[in-house]
């Protein structure tokens, strides 16, 4: 217990030192350039961030963006898992979906955002873009996970007529989980990027992207950097929450076994 506590403290200290290092690099850049419009002082940015967190409008904006990312991610996970399972079990479905997924991967995000602006309201554009960009990642990894299931284990389960639920839980699930975990963590980071990018162009009433666009229009670099930091913090926070939930789920599963 003490060893794990010491390790956690060392890890936390290392992260803090890395954080201080990059703040120092930022401050040095600010001192070299000495023009706030290009690189504002980190102290000014953190002061602005401190002002923002005490505003009601800030939290309305943050929660609106969080809602859009969560909805886009949920849609991509649901459709990615369902169609990933179908595609891995049926070659015709895979051949049908693979060109579509390849097209989504190769098409610039800006093209989809412009199309989505015609199809949807400004509030729904970020949700659609988040779903569209994250779906290929989930789908591809689910397909790969199922295809890489140990065939010998499946043959053995078939010979001994093991219950299908047990086969799913004990053979398929452990094989798919690493692929799904990696896909979801990658998709979370991408989801925040594309959702905010969509907000910048669609200008929903409440959205981090809307504030980023306003900061750019008024050449307010301090606000621009402050809202960018908010996106980075939220993205890291979501990834950490998801990783911890997965770890606790694995621990719970091992205890049941």
125-147 helix and 173-202 helix, angle to the nearest 10 degrees: 160
Task: Let me know whether 9 and 51 are in one domain.
Answer: no
Task: Let me know whether 6 and 77 are in one domain.
Answer: no
Q: Please state, for a pLDDT cut of 70, what percent of the chain lies above it.
A: 84
What single DSSP character describes residue 40? -
What single DSSP character describes residue 49? H
Tokens of 189: 């980071």
Task: Let me know whether 129 and 146 are in one domain.
Answer: yes
pTM across the whole model: 0.82
Specify the number of domains making up the chain: 2
pLDDT digits (tens, 9 = 90+) for 230-247: 988 888 888 888 877 777
What single DSSP character describes residue 171? I
| DSSP line for 234-250 | HHHHHHHHHHHHHHHHH
Tokens of 235: 């993205």
Whole-number pLDDT of residue 169: 67
| DSSP line for 63-131 | HHHHHHHHHHHHHHHHHHHHHHHHHHH-HHHHHHHHHHHHHHHHS-HHHHHHHHHHHS-TTTHHHHHHH
Task: Let me know whether 183 and 70 are in one domain.
Answer: yes
Whole-number pLDDT of residue 63: 92
Query: Within 10 Å of residue 72's Cβ, how many Cβ atoms?
Result: 27
Contact indicator for 183, 138 with CB cutoff of 8 Å: yes
Whole-number pLDDT of residue 156: 67
Query: Within 10 Å of residue 131's Cβ, how many Cβ atoms?
Result: 22
Q: Residue 235: give its domain's CATH number.
A: 1.10.3720.10
Task: Let me know whether 159 and 203 are in one domain.
Answer: yes
Task: Let me know whether 22 and 61 are in one domain.
Answer: no
pLDDT digits (tens, 9 = 90+) for 123-163: 889 999 999 999 999 999 988 888 877 677 666 666 666 66
pLDDT digits (tens, 9 = 90+) for 160-184: 666 667 666 666 777 787 888 888 8
Tokens of 137: 């990642």
**Exposure of 31 by Cβ count < 10 A (0-12 exposed, 13-18 middle, 19+ buried)?**
exposed
Boundaries of domain holding 20: 1-34
Task: Let me know whether 61 and 151 are in one domain.
Answer: yes
Task: Let me know whether 65 and 174 are in one domain.
Answer: yes
């Amino acid at each position: 217990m003490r060893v794990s506590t010491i390790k956690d403290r060392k890890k936390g200290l290392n992260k803090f030192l890395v954080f201080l290092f990059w703040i120092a690099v930022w401050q040095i850049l600010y001192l070299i350039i000495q023009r706030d419009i290009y690189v504002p002082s980190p102290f000014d940015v953190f002061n602005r961030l401190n002002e923002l967190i005490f505003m009601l409008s800030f939290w309305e904006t943050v929660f609106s963006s969080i809602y859009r990312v969560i909805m886009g991610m949920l849609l991509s996970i649901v459709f990615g898992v369902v169609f990933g399972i179908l595609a891995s079990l049926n070659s015709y479905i895979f051949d049908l979906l693979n060109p579509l997924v390849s097209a989504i991967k190769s098409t610039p995000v800006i093209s989809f955002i412009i199309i989505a602006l015609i199809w949807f309201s400004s509030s729904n554009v970020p949700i659609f873009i988040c779903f569209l960009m994250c779906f290929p990642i989930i789908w591809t990894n689910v397909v790969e996970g199922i295809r890489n299931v140990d065939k010998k284990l499946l043959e053995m389960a078939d010979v001994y007529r093991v219950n299908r639920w047990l086969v799913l839980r004990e053979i398929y699930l452990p094989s798919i989980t690493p692929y799904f975990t990696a896909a979801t963590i990658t998709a979370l980071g991408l989801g925040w990027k594309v959702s905010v990018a969509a907000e910048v162009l669609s200008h929903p009433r409440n959205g981090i992207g809307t504030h980023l666009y306003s900061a750019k229009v008024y050449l307010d670099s301090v606000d621009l950097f402050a809202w960018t930091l908010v996106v980075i913090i939220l993205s890291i926070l979501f990834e950490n929450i998801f990783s911890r939930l997965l770890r606790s789920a694995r621990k719970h599963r091992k205890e049941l076994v």
